Amino acid sequence: MIYDKLSNIRRYKGLHPNLDIALDYIGDHLADMPQHVDLRGDAVYGNIFTYDTVPDDESFFEAHARFADIQIMREGSERVAVSHISALETDSAQPEKDFWALHGPEEISIVLAPGSFLVVLPGDAHKLKMQLGSPATVTKSVFKVNME
């Protein structure tokens, strides 16, 4: 897991070539990002999502084996929890879609707000969309990066 200010995003280059593609795009073009962008086909792409945050008990952990997620808040704020998958129990698995739904204890909790970003790597389970106090509408960019 990486959590930092957007102004430091290039600091994390060199971990994987696909991650470098996403980080360069974010550093140069985030403000002009369309609703969907393919940076390297299905290996590196991004989308913009708008949704309402929910109470903690309406969210769940998800994890991926091959993909990292880069979460960048554009408008609004949400709470995000991160735990290593070894601390959680699996509710459902769809390996062909690189998706696991899990439940269990939160090891780390952060607030994702404009100007910050979160990278969850394969093995980092993340619980998203949690409200801060009351439900709020948020908009964020999410990049999927194949780390194989």
pLDDT, position 24? 98
**pLDDT band at residue 115, thresholds of 50, 70 and 90?**
very high
CATH of the domain at 137: 2.60.120.370
Q: With beta carbons less than 8 A apart as the criterion, state whether 92 and 147 touch.
A: no
Rounded-to-integer distance, Cα 101 and Cα 120, Å? 15
pLDDT tens track for 82-94: 999 999 999 999 9
Tell me what pLDDT residue 48 has.
98
Q: How many domains does the chain have?
A: 1
Virtual torsion, Cα 18, 103, 110, 116, nearest 10 deg: 30
Range of 101's domain?
Answer: 2-146
